[in-house]
Amino acid sequence: MQYDYDIIIVGTGPAGASTALHLVQIAPELAKRTLMLEKERHPRPKLCGGGVLQDGEFILSRLGMDIDTVPHVVVKEAHFQFEGRGFFIARQPVSFRVFARDLFDQWLADEARQRGIQIVEGTRVRKVTPTDGGVIVETDQAAYTARAVVGADGSLSVVRRAVPGARTGHTARLLEFYIPPENTPPENHDKGIFDYKVIGQGVQGYVWNFPMLSDGRPARNRGIFDLRMHDSPLQDLRPILQQAVAEDGQTLEDYALHSHPIRWFDPEDSFAAPHILLAGDAAGVDPTYGEGISFALGYGELAAHELKAAFARDDFSFSGYKTRILKSRMGVILKRRRRLAAMLYSIRNPNIQRLIWWRLNFLLRWYVETFLIDWAK
Ligand SMILES: Cc1cc2nc3c(=O)[nH]c(=O)nc-3n(C[C@H](O)[C@H](O)[C@H](O)COP(=O)(O)OP(=O)(O)OC[C@H]3O[C@@H](n4cnc5c(N)ncnc54)[C@H](O)[C@@H]3O)c2cc1C
């Protein structure tokens, strides 16, 4: 049978772009017969804090891409605290960088396009159906056939629905708002703050306070992350976020509040089916902080290698993809972060949290620095 494409990648966020860019690098013949489908048009809005750790930089620099060329804020200190006390990490040359996701993702997609990848924007994938030797990808415009499809279509992935055994649920809730430059205090523009004080209010997560750029001027990004891993009553996040930001003189009524889920990683999950691979949020990212950009880039690298091997062997079962994810450096770190999240967010007693953050902070800092980052180096 003749297929329209060898590979269709659904979604042009970090996971999809990374899959495409790695294909160009390691399997240029396949890259020429790859189509990317995107429901939006770049630069498209993407709800996100935009914090990219060095792991993301390592992956992109191996692709010959310089992250420094995209406008961003350098965060020198990442503060992790409970009720204002904890520890901070100050890495060289940066702890992390904060990007406007619309510009960051546009840069990734433009780079993929310039390197020869065909991208069709404004096309929403509705359904993916495996056939004997490939897949049918139905969109709101047309239907395409391919030997393999990569679901890089985010936490609400349509492609994921075609993967038997893929878990339902497993999504964190997030609320986010932006404080414009005119209301942004001038201090702390190089600090990112994660405060876990909301754990005592039944939230399995933290509130964040990140610097960002708005039209090139300093602004702030504030939000709340609730993992929802443990069974406990669902909290209304809005008043909890309101209370948290009121301490800095901010009130939610002044701003537009947005929400979007993050699918979190579970080693027991399904990540593939014959002719179908999942990557990025569609597969599941970090449950501790909801860090997903670097992991999406990491999944893209693994997916590209999986595709190359499948075409070389003419075997599209993708039966080894899960094992390769779990055994990769990225998979090992995701498993560790999942264990930490399970432990940290199960403790609702504020006194025990204070003990962890105020007295054992040196241990936690050592663990984070030694075991949770630098997986893509
Ligand atoms: C409020 C919030 C704050 C966050 N802050 C951070 C942070 O500071 N740092 C960090 O590392 N991570 C953060 N994350 C997580 C991060 O945004 C994601 O993990 C990351 O975007 C995952 O990349 P992805 O490529 O897998 O998916 P996405 O970035 O979601 O990209 C998916 C793409 O697929 C397209 N698409 C979706 N459905 C279809 C369809 N049916 N057909 C065609 N195209 C489709 C979408 O338009 C999109 O372009 C945050 C998330 C949220 C919600």
Reduced 3-state DSSP string for 213-268: EECCEEEEEEEEEECCCCCCCCCCHHHHHHHHHHCCCCCHHHCCCEECCEEECCCC
The per-residue pLDDT for range 211-267, each reduced to its tens digit, is 999 988 999 999 999 999 999 999 999 999 999 999 888 899 999 999 999 999 999
Determine the pLDDT at residue 309. Answer: 98
Picking from 317, 269, 288, the residue whose alpha carbon sits closest to that of residue 78 is 288
Mean pLDDT computed over 346-374: 96
Number of residues written out for the chain: 377
Pocket of ligand 1 (CB under 6 A): 10-16, 37-40, 46-51, 124-125, 152-154, 158, 174, 176, 223, 260, 262, 280-282, 285, 290-294, 296
Pair 278, 255: CB distance under 8 Å: no
Strands (E), 245-372: 258-259, 262-263, 272-273, 276-278
For the stretch 259-307, pLDDT in tens is 999 999 999 999 999 999 999 999 999 999 999 999 999 999 999 999 9
Point out the ligand 1 atom lying closest to the alpha carbon of residue 293: 11
Mean pLDDT taken over the chain: 96
Query: What count of Cα atoms within 13 Å lies in the side-chain half-sphere of residue 196?
Result: 30
What pLDDT shows up at residue 285?
Answer: 98
Which pLDDT belongs to residue 351? 95
Q: How confident is the model at residue 121 (pLDDT cuts 50, 70, 90)?
A: very high
Nearest CA to ligand 1 atom 51: 48
Report pTM.
0.98
Average pLDDT over residues 83-95: 94
CA 322 to centroid of ligand 1, rounded, Å: 21
CB 150 within 8 Å of CB 156:
no
Contacts of residue 130, defined as CB under 8 A and 6 or more positions apart, other chains included, come to 162, 273, 274, 275, 276
Q: Encode pLDDT of 139-164 as tens digits.
A: 999 999 999 999 999 999 999 999 99
Q: Which pLDDT belongs to residue 242?
A: 96
253: how many CB neighbours lie within 10 A of its CB? 7
* Spacing, Cα 281 to ligand 1 middle (Å): 6
**pLDDT value of residue 188:** 83
Q: Could you tell me the end-to-end alpha-carbon distance of the chain, in angstroms, rounded to an integer?
A: 42
How many whole angstroms from 189 Cα to the centroid of ligand 1? 25
CA distances from 84 to 194, 350, 358 (A): 10, 13, 9
Domains of the chain: 5-72+98-168+266-346 (3.50.50.60)
Residue with tokens 């893929």: 166
For residues 266 and 278, the answer to whether their CB atoms sit within 8 Å is: no
Q: What are the pLDDT digits (tens) for 20-73?
A: 999 999 999 999 999 999 999 999 999 999 999 999 999 999 999 999 999 999
